Structure 1
Amino acid sequence: MKRQYLLGLISLLFLAGCADNKDAVPDIPPSDLYTQAQQELQSGGWTEAIKKLEALDSRYPFGPYSDQVQLDLIYAYYKNGDYPLALASIERFSRLNPTHERSDWVLYMRGLTHMAQDSNFMHSLFGIDRHDRDPEPVKAAFIDFKRLLERYPDSLYAADSRARLSFLKNRLAEYDLSSADFYLRREAWVAAINRSQEIQKTYPDTVAAHKSLKIQLEAYKKLGLDDAVKRTEELIELNKKK
């Protein structure tokens, strides 16, 4: 019995070793390994590209491909949906290369990665509206794209960042609107008014800002504040004319 157990254990270890060897990145010259990684990136083989790039990064941290390998890893992690790894790689690269010529791209990828954390494939597939989800990734992405436009106004990624900022602004406004509506339904009139006014102040040119006036109006009516009701009704009429 012991002999059979030992043979079985040896077989398992042998198979595990074969599996490790199969998955291991070959010890070849860095130029060849980099070429293979690039081929995987171009064909969309993100997992294999990541394996090879990580091997290059660990084996040759100060090699001639060092910076590009780190940049490629950021992109591969992002495309593979490994967002925490992408963000960690971005932070590392930015810390080590604060004035790199591709810093605008790195910041752009940071915004894209934060933005991707807010999306959900199943929600999109079934058309589920989740504007009430935690907006922290959206806020982070908003800051990233805004910072890119401030630091690199002539960047190749400026136009797309500007368009994404508009989308994110509406996303944040819709989140605050859902909060105002929640307060209204809970009969927290003052909280509903405060949140509505915050939307109008922070996101004045959004649809959510116009909708928040109706929540504000209802809350003022419940509180019996006739003057405030009249002012809000005037604001609603004014917005209709725009």
Structure 2
Amino acid sequence: MRKFGLLGGLITIILVLSACASEKDKIAAGSEKDIYQRAQYALNHSSWDAAVEYLQLLEEHYPFGVYAEQSQLELIFAYYQSDEHEAAIASADRFIRLHPQHRSVDYAYYMRGVASFSNDTAITSFLPTDVTQRDIGTAREAFNYFNQFLNRYPDSPYALDAQKRMIYLRNTMARSEIHVANYYFKREAYLAAANRGRYVVENMQGTPAVPDGLAVMAMGYHMLNMPELANDAVKVLIANYPNHPAIKNGKFNFEYSTAKKRSWVSYVTFGLFDKRPVIKFDSRKQYDPFYAEAPPAPPAA
């Protein structure tokens, strides 16, 4: 009896799989228009997995059909909405390679950048992480993709959105440099910290991280006993950002982030158990009130 039950279950599974396969074969055997209409219905109802399946069927059975090029563009978007960002990038690359002169190839370039930047959104949407403190390789890649897109298609309808995303990405990369500088301060690698601050000041002008870049330079050179370079950075900081948290009474506070009110325990033990001073610059709340806001979702093809 038991063997019969197992056999019966196995037969049921086979029949279900066969039914699914035959249904898929039926759809594949349908007309190009019929499959495309099914894909459109899935897209309009945000059924992204179904849309991907139908669009893949179109590409497989009608690679040179009437809807081939449009369905390839829509497949990029469907992959993106399904959180299959690598597949979206690969599809965009393929479209660019196959249709370099297509009237909508700019959309493929644009979506390649969007998908690249969104590679790690699954993590940031569930965890309250600061993206600037994590690896920003995808941000750099996305920035380069958008830069290539704008160089080729500056008048594209997606150009303005790409520019906004590039500003966000550039701000993210600049802030990441400050986080690295703060880490170097913790490790007492003051020259490395100062160099990170200088990189932001020289290469990331216009980003909200520049004030902290100057503060990093001032503190780093001060710790290296290089007063001239430290004073130069302080002068520029005070002239341009007089309200920076490290400025106190019109002067740079070289004890910033290190001087804290001492407890009675500290006095009694002569500071023996005091925590190691930490140098850390992060003035985003003052100079970048929108730093936590990510760009909106991209438009459909």
TM-score where L is the length of structure 1: 0.90
Quote the Cα distance in structure 2 between the aligned partners of 1:39 and 1:3: 45
Name whichever of 213-222 and 1-10 sits farther off.
Answer: 1-10
8 Å contact kept, 2:86–2:116:
no
Fraction of identical pairs, as percent: 32
Q: Residue 76 of structure 1 aligns with which residue? A: 78
Quick check: 2:86–2:119 contact (8 Å CA) kept in 1? no
Conserved? CA contact 1:25–1:51, under 8 Å: no
- Give the equivalent residue in structure 2 for 1:186: 187
Residues 88-119 of structure 1: per-residue CA shift (max 9 Å, x gap): 11111111111111111111111111121243
Where 1:101 maps in the other structure, the secondary structure is: coil
Matched, 1:114 2:116: yes
2:97 aligned residue:
95
Gaps of 5+ in 2: 244-301
Give the partner amino acid of 2:140: K
| Pairing of 1:177-216 with structure 2 (within 5 A) | 177-216=178-217
Cα deviation digits, residues 16-41 of structure 1 (max 9, x gap): 32344456662211111111111111
Q: Which runs of 5+ in 1 are unaligned?
A: none
Distance 1:25 1:113, change over 3 A: farther
Greater per-residue helix proportion:
1
Query: What secondary structure sits across from 1:131 in the alignment?
Result: helix
CA distance in 1 between counterparts of 2:139 and 2:24 reads: 37
1:80 Cα deviation from its structure 2 partner: 1.3
Determine the structure 2 residue equivalent to 1:104.
106
Q: Distance in 2 between matches of 1:147 and 1:154?
A: 13
Larger Rg: 2
Task: Tell me the alpha carbon deviations over residues 109-144 of structure 1, each in whole angstroms, 9 at most, x when there is no partner.
Answer: 111111212434x64566442311111111111112
Say which SS state the counterpart of residue 63 (structure 1) adopts: coil
Q: Distance in 1 between matches of 2:153 and 2:37?
A: 31
In structure 1, how many angstroms separate the alpha carbons of the residues matched to 2:155 and 2:143? Answer: 18
Q: Which letter does structure 1 place at the counterpart of 2:39?
A: A
Tell me, yes or no, if structure 1 residue 140 matches structure 2 residue 145.
no
2:30 pairs with one of 28, 33, 43? 28
Matches within 5 A, 1:154-173: 154-173=155-174
Q: How far apart are residue 67 of structure 1 and its match? A: 0.8
The answer as to 2:19 corresponding to 1:18 is yes
Which residue does 1:63 correspond to in 2? 65
Question: C-alpha offsets along residues 64-92 of structure 1, whole Å, 9 cap, x if unaligned?
Answer: 21111111101111111111111111111
Q: Distance in 2 between the 1:224 and 1:65 partners?
A: 68
Return the structure number with greater relative CO, CA threshold 8 A, min gap 6: 2
- What are the equivalent positions in structure 2 for 1:202-241 lying under 5 Å apart? 202-240=203-241
Q: 1:53 is aligned with what amino acid?
A: L
Q: Is this contact kept in 2: 1:25–1:55, CA < 8 A?
A: no
Cα distance change of structure 1 residues 237 and 2 upon mapping to structure 2, 3 Å threshold: closer
Q: Distance in 2 between matches of 1:7 and 1:234?
A: 84
Preserved CA contact (<8 Å) 1:105 1:157 = yes
Q: Is the Cα contact below 8 Å between 1:104 and 1:152 reproduced in 2? A: yes
> Residue 42 of structure 1 aligns with which residue?
44
Q: Which amino acid aligns with 2:201?
A: Q
Quote the Cα distance in structure 1 between the aligned partners of 2:204 and 2:119.
Answer: 23
